[in-house]
Amino acid sequence: MDYYPLSAYLKDKFKEKVYKITIDAGFTCPNRDGSISTSGCVFCDDGGSFSNAHSRLLSISQQIETGIKAQHDRFGANKFMAYFQAFTNTYKPVNELEKIYKEALKNPQIVGISIGTRPDCVDDKKLDLISSFVPNYETWIEYGLQTIHDKSLKWMNRGHDYATFEKAYLQTKRRGIKVCAHVILGLPTEDKEDMLQTAEKLAKLKVDGVKFHALCVMPNTKLEQMYKNNEIKLLEEDEYVDIICEFLKILPSDTIIHRLCANGYAKTMIAPLWLNDKWSTLNKINQKLKEL
Ligand code: SF4
């Protein structure tokens, strides 16, 4: 059994490796600024699920230039996607969004754009703007879905339900924008069967891409308190490997896998510690897929 990683998809399309440059464009999130709640999702840390706090001090152009130089020096990279990652990257009026996205796209080495957001933070105007990039750029929206189960969305204080995702998904697909769904495995409200129901739904919807995360505990989050109070149990590495492989078996083989396992948490993550060795987990996933 095999899967189609984003790196392979981009290489097939652009005939060379394409690297993502992560951008913090100074957005916030309605689940933090009080519009929905002030406490945010239970797992979200101060950076809005973004690891580079220094970026916010730089302009978008500076972040792009710094990212391009670093990846060119390190890998000889020439082509890049601008990845708006921190917080909710459609959470501003459409005229401001246009300026923000176009500042990133004006660099001639940028061949694509990927915008991370919540499904309740898009509308026709915003999606029309983003779809105007489709003819000239690889264009993705990454929606934080996490799970199809409303009981789990409620548990994590997500502030929207599954139906909101499905509505946003259909509005987005209709415009030719590619959609990646972020999924969290190991939510304490779910067993394996629940998680695989998310796979079945995504397969039925034919989402273009999926990005996987294991539920992990970061400092200064509600999840940290729950973990320290022994209220939750996290997945063991072999459980994660098993569920990922079953999930991939259900998805169509051309689903583009943006990530199988998150890394970059080594310095601050509290648990599970096996996530610190991303390569070991990836090797185990690949080994199990071979067996399958
Ligand atoms: S939607 Fe994203 S940025 Fe907002 S609280 Fe949840 S994880 Fe954090």
Residue spans per domain, the chain: 4-291
Angle between helices 162-174 and 124-131 (to 10 degrees): 40
Ligand 1 center from residue 216 Cα (angstroms): 14
Closest CA to 104 of 53, 139, 142, 143: 139
Query: One digit per residue, pLDDT tens: the chain, 292 residues?
Result: 789 999 999 999 999 999 999 999 999 999 999 999 999 999 998 765 555 545 778 999 999 999 999 999 999 999 999 999 999 999 999 999 999 999 999 999 999 999 999 999 999 999 999 999 999 999 999 999 999 999 999 999 999 999 999 999 999 999 999 999 999 999 999 999 999 999 999 999 999 999 999 999 999 999 999 999 999 999 999 999 999 999 999 999 999 999 998 765 567 899 999 999 989 999 999 999 999 8
Is any atom of ligand 1 closer than 6 Å to the C-beta of 31? yes
Is the pTM above the cut of 0.85?
Answer: yes
Distances (CA, A) of 133 to 95, 119, 180, 226, 231: 15, 19, 17, 42, 45
Ligand 1 center from residue 222 Cα (angstroms): 13
Ligand 1 center from residue 75 Cα (angstroms): 31
Task: Note the pLDDT of residue 48.
Answer: 59
Is any atom of ligand 1 closer than 6 Å to the C-beta of 49? yes
Which atom of ligand 1 sits closest to the CA of residue 118?
A: 1
The matching CATH number, chosen from 3.20.20.70, 3.60.20.10, 3.80.10.10, 3.40.190.10, for 4-291 is 3.20.20.70
* The two structure tokens encoding residue 211: 């990005």
Task: Note the pLDDT of residue 282.
Answer: 95
Task: Note the pLDDT of residue 262.
Answer: 78
Task: Note the pLDDT of residue 190.
Answer: 98
